[in-house]
C-alpha cells in the first residue's frame, strides 16, 4: 500500500514513498539509510497520517547531481518538494542527516511546519564533545566518507559494501538484530550506481559546519519556536544521550525525553514505540484528524517511561 | 648486495635486510611501510655503516602473531633481536611507527644505543593537537585501522589494497611521485597474508597511549639523554612541522632541524639528503669508522640549509 512516485523539484528528481491518510508528515532518513528505513513506522501510522518519505538528494532512487550536499541544500530541496506537492503545512519527522536538514528547513519557512519530531541527530549544542579524544573511534567515518578513494573501497564488491554499511547499522544499534531481516535491501540500495557517492556527498557538504561546531565557531542563530519533540535514544554509540543536554538552546518549544532500550535507530529497533511517540506528539499539538482513524484497527501503543521537559 | 635473513627473537621470527660495513645502524620503518622503505638510504650509506633493517612484528616477512602491538612490544622485540645478533651497541634510525618504538626502546636499555636519529614521528609533546578539529580529516585512519572490517575492506582485491595504501604514500608525500616506481612492491607486501592485519595491530596497540596523549594524561617520563637528531619534514600532512616544538621535553641532547622540501617520507622523497643527514649525525657523535669509507666512491652530499639546536 506504499506508493512510489518521482517528483521534480529544485533541479533534481526526487523519489518519494507515500502511504496513509490524514494530516501530512514528512519523514527524513539518515545515513546509511534511505526512505525504506521508515517503512515500519509508516505502516503503523498510515491509519492516522498521510506519510511522505523522500529519498534525500544523493540517496535511494533520487537524483545524484554532483555534491557536496550540505544540510541547507537538503532543506532547499525539501521546501521545493513541498511546493511541488502543493502542501502548505506539514509535520516533519527526522533523525541523523534528516534531523540535520530539518534545522535549516525550519528556519527557511517556519510557517510551513506544524511540528518537528526528532530522533538522535546533530545540533549545535553537541559542540566540541563530538571531537573529544574518546569520540574519535566513533567519528572517523565522517572523515573517511570524504576521501576520494572511499566509494571504490566500499563499493569494490557486494561483500565490501555489506561489510561497511552493515557495520554502522549493527554497531550503532542497541538491538543488534534490528536490520538483520533487511540488510540485503540496504546493500541493494547502496550498490545502485552513485548511491555510495551520494551519501558521502553529505559528509563533504557538512564538514565545514561540523568542524566549526567542534571549535565553537558556529554563527549564533535564534532558537526555533516551532513545537518540537525529541526522543533521544538511551544507547546511541555515535550520538550519546549525554549530548542531548543543550537542545533547549536550539528549540524554544521542546518536549524532550529519553527513548529507552534502543540505539541510533529507534524507528527500526522499536518501531511500535517509535510510531507511538511520533503519533502522540502530533496528536498533542493538534496535528491529527481523529476522524481519520480506522476504528477496526487496534489503537496504537501508548508511549510510556520517564519523560522530562526542558524549559527554554 | 642487500642480504635477507630471518632471526628468532622474543618468540617470533623477524625478517631482516642487511648491507654495508662499519658501525651498525638499525633502521625502523613506519606504516604503511616495511624494511624496503629504507632501501634508497641503505644503498647510499652502505660504504660507511652496517645497516640492519628489520620488518617490525606484523609487517613484511616477519611473523604476525595475534596483536595488538604497542610501541613497547616492538621495543621488546628489537632489544631481543640485538641480543640474538650479538650487537652490544648500535645507532638507531626511525620514523613514524619506528620512531614511536624507539622511545620505549631507548628507555629499556639506554647504554645500548650510541645515538637516535628520527624523521617525523609521534611523541608526547604533540599532545591534544593531534585530535584538534582541523586534524580529524587527517587522523581518521588511526581509528579505521582498528575496525574489525578494515582488513576485509582494504584487502578485498589488489585494487582496493592499492587504493588504500597508495592513498597514504601519496597524500603524506610532498613529492607526489616519490613512491610511483615502487608502488606495486608495496602492494605486493600488503597483499601477503596477514600483513594488513599486522599493520593494523599497531593501531590497536597504540590506541590507549595516543588517546592519553591527546587528553594530556600520559605518565611523565624523564627525558632521554642519548644523543638525538631529529630532522622534521617541512610539509608533513599528518605530523605537521609545528608539532615538533616540544621535542626538547623528551630528548635532552637534541640536534634539531627542519628537513626542507619533503613530506612524511624524507627517506623516499629525498634519499640523498636523508642519507647525508643520517650519516652526518652519526659522524658528529663519533659513531662512524672513517676507515670503512670506500675512497673509490664519491663522498656523500653534505647536509645544507638552516639548522637549529634546541637546548633541553
Mutate to test the interface with A, among B127, B140, B150, B203 (most CBs of A within 10 A): B140
Q: What is the pLDDT of residue A67?
A: 85
The residue length of chain A stands at: 312
pLDDT band at B67 (very low <50, low <70, confident <90, very high): confident
Instruction: Name the residue facing B149 among A131, A140, A167 (closest C-beta).
Output: A167
Determine, for residues B159 and A159 on separate chains, whether the beta-carbon distance falls below 8 Å: no
Task: Please tell me the distance from the alpha carbon of residue B25 to that of residue B3, in angstroms, as a whole number.
Answer: 15
What DSSP string runs through B235-301?
A: T-SSS-GGGGGGHHHHBSSEEEEEETT--S-HHHHSHHHHHHHHHHHHHHTT---GGGS-TTSPPPP
Mutate to test the interface with A, among B151, B153, B167, B196 (most CBs of A within 10 A): B153
* Residues of chain A with C-beta less than 8 angstroms from the C-beta of B191: none
Q: What is the pLDDT of residue A289?
A: 81
Catalytic sites of B, residue numbers: 96, 203, 264
Average pLDDT, chain A: 94
- Mean of the pLDDT values across residues B300-307? 44
Residue A96 known to be catalytic:
yes
Determine, for residues A156 and B154 on separate chains, whether the beta-carbon distance falls below 8 Å: no
Mutate to test the interface with A, among B133, B149, B170 (most CBs of A within 10 A): B133
Tens of pLDDT, residue by residue over A268-306, are 999 999 999 999 999 999 999 864 444 444 444 444 443
**Are the C-beta atoms of residues B169 and B140 closer than 8 Å to each other?**
no
Is residue A312 predicted with pLDDT exceeding 50?
no
Q: Is B94 helix (H, G, I), strand (E, B) or coil?
A: strand
**Are the C-beta atoms of residues A60 and A97 closer than 8 Å to each other?**
no
Is residue A307 predicted with pLDDT exceeding 80?
no
| B150 Rama sector, left if φ>0, alpha if ψ -120 to 50, beta otherwise | alpha
Instruction: Name the residue facing B137 among A137, A146, A157 (closest C-beta).
Output: A146
Is residue B296 predicted with pLDDT exceeding 50?
no
Tens of pLDDT, residue by residue over B20-54, are 999 999 999 999 999 999 999 999 999 999 999 99
Task: Please tell me the distance from the alpha carbon of residue A93 to that of residue A173, in angstroms, as a whole number.
Answer: 19
- Mean of the pLDDT values across residues A127-149? 98
HEC per residue, chain A: CCEEEEEEECCEEEEEEEECCCEEEEEECCCCCCHHHHHHHHHHHCCCEEEEEECCCCCCCCCCCCCCCCHHHHHHHHHHHHHHHCCCCEEEEECCHHHHHHHHHHHHCHHHEEEEEECCCCCHHHHHHHHCHHHHHHHHHHHHCCCCCHHHHHCCCHHHHHHHHHHHHHHCCCCCCCCHHHHHHHHHHHHCCCHHHHHHHHHHHHHHHHHHHHHCCCCCCCCECCCEEEEEECCCCCCCHHHHHHHHHCECCEEEEEECCCCCCHHHHCHHHHHHHHHHHHHHCCCCCHHHCCCCCCCCCCCCCCCECCCC
Residue of chain B nearest A133, judged by CA positions: B211
Determine, for residues A160 and B159 on separate chains, whether the beta-carbon distance falls below 8 Å: no
Least confident of A211-225, A293-307, B163-177: A293-307
Q: What is the pLDDT of residue B303?
A: 45
Instruction: Name the residue facing A164 among B134, B139, B149 (closest C-beta).
Output: B149
Distance in Å from the first CA to the final CA of chain A: 41
Is residue B244 predicted with pLDDT exceeding 60?
yes
* Residues of chain B with C-beta less than 8 angstroms from the C-beta of A163: 149, 152-153
Is residue B310 predicted with pLDDT exceeding 70?
no
Paired strand residues for B230 = B118, B256
Q: What is the pLDDT of residue B290?
A: 62
Q: What is the pLDDT of residue A113?
A: 98
Average pLDDT, chain B: 94
Looking up cell 617525523 gives: B120
Residue of chain B nearest A157, judged by CA positions: B156
In eight-state DSSP terms, residue B16 is: E
**ipTM associated with this complex:** 0.91
pTM score, whole prediction: 0.92
How many CB atoms within 10 Å of residue B260?
17
Instruction: Name the residue facing B156 among A134, A140, A156 (closest C-beta).
Output: A156
Q: What is the pLDDT of residue B283?
A: 97
Q: What is the pLDDT of residue B289?
A: 81
* Residues of chain B with C-beta less than 8 angstroms from the C-beta of A146: 137
Mutate to test the interface with B, among A129, A140, A217 (most CBs of B within 10 A): A140
Q: What is the pLDDT of residue A305?
A: 41
How many CB atoms within 10 Å of residue A176?
12
Residue A243 backbone dihedrals phi, psi, to 5 degrees: -75, 0
Least confident of A214-228, A232-246, A296-310, B25-39: A296-310
* Residues of chain B with C-beta less than 8 angstroms from the C-beta of A160: 152-153, 156, 160
Tens of pLDDT, residue by residue over B191-235, are 999 999 999 999 999 999 999 999 999 999 999 999 999 999 999
**Are the C-beta atoms of residues B278 and B13 closer than 8 Å to each other?**
no
Task: Please tell me the distance from the alpha carbon of residue A231 to that of residue A217, in angstroms, as a whole number.
Answer: 27
Task: Please tell me the distance from the alpha carbon of residue B122 to that of residue B120, in angstroms, as a whole number.
Answer: 7
Instruction: Name the residue facing A167 among B138, B143, B147 (closest C-beta).
Output: B147
Q: What is the pLDDT of residue A290?
A: 62
Chain A residues whose C-beta sits inside 8 Å of any chain B C-beta: 128, 131-134, 136-144, 146-147, 149, 152-154, 156-157, 159-160, 163-164, 167, 207, 211, 214-215
- Mean of the pLDDT values across residues B132-145? 98
**Are the C-beta atoms of residues B260 and B252 closer than 8 Å to each other?**
no
* Residues of chain B with C-beta less than 8 angstroms from the C-beta of A156: 153, 156-157, 159-160
Looking up cell 618504538 gives: B101
Topology of B3-310 in CATH?
Rossmann fold (3.40.50)
Amino acid at each position: 500500500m506504499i506508493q512510489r512516485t518521482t517528483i521534480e523539484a529544485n533541479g533534481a528528481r526526487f523519489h518519494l514513498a507515500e502511504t496513509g491518510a490524514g494530516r501530512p508528515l514528512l519523514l527524513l532518513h539518515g545515513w546509511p539509510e534511505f526512505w525504506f528505513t521508515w517503512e515500519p513506522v509508516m505502516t503503523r501510522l498510515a491509519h492516522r497520517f498521510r506519510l511522505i518519505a523522500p529519498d534525500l538528494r544523493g540517496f535511494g532512487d533520487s537524483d545524484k547531481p554532483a555534491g557536496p550536499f550540505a544540510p541547507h541544500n537538503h532543506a532547499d530541496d525539501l521546501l521545493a518538494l513541498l511546493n511541488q506537492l502543493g502542501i502548505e503545512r506539514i509535520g516533519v519527522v527526522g533523525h541523523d542527516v534528516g534531523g540535520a536538514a530539518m534545522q535549516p528547513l525550519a528556519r527557511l519557512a517556519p510557517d510551513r511546519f506544524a511540528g518537528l519530531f526528532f530522533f538522535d541527530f546533530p545540533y549545535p549544542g553537541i559542540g566540541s564533545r563530538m571531537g573529544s579524544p574518546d569520540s574519535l573511534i566513533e567519528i572517523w567515518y565522517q572523515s573517511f566518507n570524504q576521501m576520494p578513494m572511499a566509494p571504490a573501497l566500499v563499493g569494490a564488491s557486494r561483500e565490501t559494501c555489506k561489510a561497511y554499511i552493515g557495520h554502522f547499522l549493527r554497531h550503532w544499534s542497541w538491538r543488534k538484530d534490528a536490520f538483520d531481516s533487511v540488510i540485503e535491501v540496504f546493500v541493494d540500495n547502496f550498490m545502485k550506481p552513485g548511491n555510495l557517492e551520494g551519501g558521502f556527498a553529505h559528509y563533504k557538504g557538512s564538514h565545514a559546519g561540523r568542524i566549526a561546531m567542534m571549535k565553537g565557531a558556529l554563527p549564533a542563530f535564534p532558537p526555533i519556536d516551532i513545537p518540537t519533540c525529541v526522543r533521544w535514544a538511551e544507547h546511541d554509540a555515535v550520538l550519546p544521550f549525554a549530548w542531548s543536554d543543550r537542545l533547549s538552546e536550539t528549540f524554544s518549544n521542546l518536549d524532550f525525553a529519553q527513548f529507552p532500550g534502543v540505539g541510533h535507530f529507534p524507528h527500526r529497533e522499536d518501531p511500535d514505540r517509535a510510531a507511538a511517540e511520533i503519533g502522540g506528539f502530533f496528536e498533542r499539538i493538534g496535528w491529527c484528524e481523529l476522524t481519520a482513524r480506522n476504528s477496526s484497527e487496534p489503537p496504537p501503543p501508548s508511549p510510556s517511561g520517564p519523560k522530562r521537559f526542558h524549559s527554554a
